[in-house]
């Protein structure tokens, strides 16, 4: 192969199909729609899950449980992990945890759990604390700062007032 052969046969833009331009073009007469039938007609549209009259896959697959899309996702971190990754006097925030790859995933609220022991004096900022975690942090001389929780979804008051 030569360097000038590298791009041979490669087109930057694909030519558009020119439909209905005579039988010699290969796309004349029925213009690629075949003979008769639902798909040959103008204005044809079909539901994306339609499978030729068979029971659609989406209806065949069993569905179990309930998926609560309004549920609050909670990130968890144990105080044993704080002991290992933070030095005494440091502030522990959701941002600092992400920086140290501890709670490095998507969550709405952060909860500190009581697994492990803590001896360092830390200021811990989180949305929730387990009772044992709170007790252990304060026993070690640290402070607990509760961040504001995620607000619940409230329906539009104007809309509900007019529908009564």
For the segment 55-84, the average pLDDT, to the nearest whole number, is: 90
How many domains does one find in the chain?
1
Q: Report pLDDT digits (tens) over 98-140.
A: 999 898 899 999 999 999 999 999 999 999 999 999 999 999 9
Mean pLDDT of the chain: 88
Give domain status of residue 160, yes or no.
no
Give domain status of residue 100, yes or no.
yes
Give domain status of residue 45, yes or no.
no
Write out the E strands in the chain.
Answer: 74-78, 91-92, 109-113, 123-126, 128-129, 143-146
The pLDDT-based confidence of 156 (bands split at 50, 70, 90) is low
Give domain status of residue 99, yes or no.
yes
Confidence (pLDDT) at 157: 57
The CATH number assigned to the domain holding 136 equals 3.100.10.10
Give domain status of residue 47, yes or no.
no
For the segment 133-160, the average pLDDT, to the nearest whole number, is: 80
Can you give the residue range of the structural domain that contains 118? 74-146
| C-alpha to C-alpha distance for 49 and 58, rounded to whole angstroms | 7
Residue count of the chain: 164
Decide: helix, strand or coil at residue 130: coil
Give domain status of residue 83, yes or no.
yes
Give domain status of residue 157, yes or no.
no
Give domain status of residue 49, yes or no.
no
Q: Is 154's pLDDT higher than 80? A: no
Q: Is 59's pLDDT higher than 60? A: yes
| C-alpha to C-alpha distance for 146 and 159, rounded to whole angstroms | 34
Q: Report pLDDT digits (tens) over 17-49.
A: 999 999 999 999 999 999 999 899 999 998 888
Entry pTM: 0.55
Closest C-alpha among 120, 123, 119, 129 to residue 91: 123
């Amino acid at each position: 192969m030569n360097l000038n052969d590298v791009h041979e046969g490669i087109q930057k833009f694909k030519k558009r199909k020119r439909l209905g331009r005579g039988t010699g073009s290969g796309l004349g007469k029925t213009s690629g729609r075949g003979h008769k039938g639902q798909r040959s007609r103008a204005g044809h549209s079909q539901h994306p899950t339609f499978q030729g009259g068979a029971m659609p896959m989406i209806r065949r697959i069993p569905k179990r449980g309930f998926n609560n899309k309004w549920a609050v996702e909670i990130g968890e971190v144990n105080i044993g992990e704080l002991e290992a990754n933070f030095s005494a006097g440091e502030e522990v925030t959701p941002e600092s945890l992400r920086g140290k790859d501890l709670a490095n995933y998507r969550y709405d609220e952060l909860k500190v759990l009581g697994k492990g022991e803590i001896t360092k004096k830390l200021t811990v900022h989180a949305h929730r604390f387990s009772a044992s975690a709170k007790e252990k942090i304060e026993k070690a001389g640290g402070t607990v700062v509760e961040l504001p929780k995620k607000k619940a979804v409230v329906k539009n008051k104007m809309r509900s007032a007019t529908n009564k």
